Amino acid sequence: MPLKRGLRMANSKTLSSNSNQPPRVAIIHDWLTDMGGAERVVLALLSAFPGAPIYTSVFEPQGAGLQMFKDADVRTTWLQKLPRGLRRLHRLFPVLRVWAFRSLDLRAYDVIISSSSAESKQVKKRSDAVHICYCHTPTRYYWSHYQHYRQDPGFGRLNPLIRLIMPPFVWWMKRLDFAAAQRVDYFVANSSEVRDRVKRFYGRDSVVINPPVEVARFTLAQTTGSRRAGYVSIGRLVPYKRFDVAVQACSELGLPLTVYGSGPEYAKLQKMAGPTVSFVKNATDQQIARALRSARALLFPAEEDFGIVQIEALAAGTPIVAYARGGALDVVKDGINGVLFYQQTTDSLIAALQTLEGLRLNRPGIMASARQWDTARFIKKLQNFVGECWELGPPRR
C-alpha cells in the first residue's frame, strides 16, 4: 500500500512514536562476500541506525572492500557453517538462502530493513513489527532478466546443466519470491526503473530513494583546469552490462578506453579489444576516483537498476554516455551532463560519442549536480521514511 502521508523529518520522537523507547532496528542483506553498490547502501543504513546488527546469509570478512564492516555487528545464517569452498558458490544455493533467512529469529526487533536483490526479504517478523524492503531490484534472474540469464547463466562449464534445470526451478522460486514480497510492509525502490519493476512483478507500490554516494571522495581532489583524456567504463564484467559495446565502439574509433573491473567476460572482452583499449582488474577506490577525475567521459552501456558509478562520475565533473534505459534515465540529462544513446549497439554508441565531441559542458555544474545523491542526504531520507512507516505501523492486510 502507498504511504498515507508525505515523508517527514525523522527524529527520536518520531522513531519512538509507537512506544516509550526508540524501535530496535535490524538490517538484513543478501550476502557479504565482496564490496559493491548494495554493500555501500548497507553501510549507509548502519550510519542511519548506529548499533543495528546486520544479518546476512554468508560473510567473507577478507572479501574485497569488506574491511569496512570490521567494527559492525555482523550475524550470519547457518550457511556460514558450510566449508569456505562451498560458501564461495553461494549463487548456486538460492533455495538454501530462502530457508536460511526464514530461520532467523528476529522477534526482538521492531523495525526490519532488508537490503534485497534476492532472498533477504524472506525473513519473518512479529505481527506488530514493520518490515521495510530497500529493493535494489526484484530478483533479476527470476523476473526482468530471466531470458538473458538462461542464455548465459554465468557458471562456465556448468551452463548446459543450469539451462536444463532453470525453467522448473525458476517457476518455483518466483512463487516463493512473490509470496515474500507480499509480506513486506513497505517498499523503497532504488530508482524509477526499479519502482516500475516492483509494481510490475510484485504488484506493490514503492517510494524511490536513490542509493548513496560519497560525493566528497571524488570532488575534493579535483584539479581545476586539468586536461582530460580517454574514456572509462567501470563495473563487474558480466554479459548483461554490455561492456562489449563500449570496447567495440572505442576499438573502431581508435579512442583510448580503460575498462575497470573483473568477471566472466574478462577474457572475451580482451580478445575483441583493439590496441587503444586497456583493462585494470581489482582497482582500489582511489584508482577509480583518479580515473574518473581525469576521464573525458564515463561510458555506461548497461541497462542498470540504478548505477552508482554514474553519480561518482558526475561528482568528478565527468559526463556520462549512457544507454537510455533503466537507472540512467534518473541521472543523465541529455546534452547537459552527458549524452544518451537509444540502441544497445556499437553504432548507436559511436553516434553518441560523436555528439559528445560537439558539446560544451559545464563541468563545475556537473559536479554540483551530484550533491543531491550525497550519503548524508540519503541517510536523512531513509530516517524520514522509516519514521513515517514506524508511525503508521504495519498496513492492514
pLDDT per residue of the chain (397 residues) written in tens, 0 to 9:
444 433 333 333 344 444 567 899 999 999 998 888 899 999 999 999 999 999 999 998 887 778 889 899 999 999 999 888 777 776 678 889 999 999 999 999 999 999 999 999 999 999 999 999 999 999 888 887 767 777 777 667 777 887 888 888 888 889 999 999 999 999 999 999 999 999 999 999 999 999 998 888 887 544 544 578 899 999 989 888 999 999 999 999 999 999 999 888 999 999 999 999 999 998 888 899 999 999 999 999 999 889 899 999 999 999 999 999 999 999 999 999 999 999 999 999 999 999 998 898 888 899 989 999 999 999 999 999 999 999 999 997 6
Q: Is residue 30 part of a domain?
A: yes
Contacts of 294 (CB under 8 A, 6+ apart): 226, 228, 229, 230
Cβ–Cβ < 8 Å for 350, 253: yes
Q: pLDDT value at position 396?
A: 78
Judge if 320 and 222 occupy the same domain.
yes
Q: Is the alpha carbon torsion for 66, 67, 71, 75 positive or negative?
A: positive
The CATH number of the domain where 27 resides is what?
3.40.50
User: What is the SS3 string spanning the chain?
Assistant: CCCCCCCCCCCHHHHCCCCCCCCCEEEEECCECCCCHHHHHHHHHHHHCCCCCEEECCECCCCCCHHHHCCCCEEECHHHHCCHHHHCCHHHCHHHHHHHHHCCCCCCCCEEEEEECCCHHHCCCCCCCEEEEEECCCCCCCCCCHHHHHHCCCCHHHHHHHHHHHHHHHHHHHHHHHHHHHHCCEEEECCHHHHHHHHHHHCCCCEECCCCECCHHHHCCCCCCCCCCCEEEECCCCHHHCHHHHHHHHHHHCCCEEEECCCCCHHHHHHHCCCCEEEECCCCHHHHHHHHHHCCEEEECCCCCCCHHHHHHHHCCCCEEEECCCCHHHHCCECCCEEEECCCCHHHHHHHHHHHHCCCCCHHHHHHHHHHHEHHHHHHHHHHHHHHHHHHCCCCC
Whether residues 366 and 380 fall in one domain: no
75/129 same-domain check: yes
Same structural domain for residues 243 and 333? yes
Residue 7 lies in a domain: no
Q: Are residues 127 and 95 in the same domain?
A: yes
Domain encompassing residue 179: 12-212+375-392
Report CA dihedral (174, 175, 178, 180) to the nearest 10 degrees.
-110
* 241 and 154 within one domain: no
Distance, in Å, from the CA atom of 64 to the CA atom of 67, rounded to the nearest integer, reads: 8
Q: Is residue 184 part of a domain?
A: yes
> In sequence order, what are the residues at sequence separation of 6 or more whose Cβ sits closer than 8 angstroms to the Cβ of residue 340?
322, 323, 324, 328, 332, 334, 352
User: Maximum CA pair distance of the chain?
Assistant: 66
Q: Can you give the pTM of this predicted structure?
A: 0.83
Residues 268 and 386 in one domain: no
The values of phi and psi at residue 32, to 5°, are -125, 90
Burial of residue 321, with CB atoms counted within 10 A of its CB: 0-12 exposed, 13-18 middle, 19 or more buried: buried
Name the residue with cell 581525469: 294
| Residue 1 placed within a domain | no
Same domain, 26 and 140: yes
The residues that bridge with 297 in the sheet, in sequence order, are 231
pLDDT score of 37: 84
Q: How many Å separate Cα 224 from the centre of its chain? A: 31
Residues 248, 155 share a domain: no
In a domain, 232, yes or no: yes
Residue with cell 515474500: 180
Structural domain includes residue 397: no
Q: Are residues 356 and 384 in the same domain?
A: no
Gap between the Cα atoms of 113 and 48, Å rounded: 11
Decide the pairing of beta strands 111-116 and 74-76. unpaired
Which of 35, 79, 6, 25 minimizes the C-alpha distance to 262?
35
Q: Please tell me the total count of domains within the chain.
A: 2
Q: Looking at the structure, tell me whether residues 259 and 185 fall in a common domain.
A: no
Residue 34 lies in a domain: yes
Cα gap 112→131, rounded to integer Å: 5
Q: What is the CATH number of the domain that holds 285?
A: 3.40.50.2000
Q: How far apart are CA 29 and CA 76, in angstroms?
A: 10
Nearest to 374 by CA among 237, 235, 211: 211
Q: Is 5 inside any structural domain?
A: no
Report yes or no: 256 and 276 within 8 Å, Cβ to Cβ.
Answer: yes
Closest CA to 105 of 121, 83, 126: 126
Of 303, 348, 321, 262, the residue nearest 148 (C-alpha): 303
Looking at the fold, whether 265 and 314 belong to one and the same domain comes out as: yes
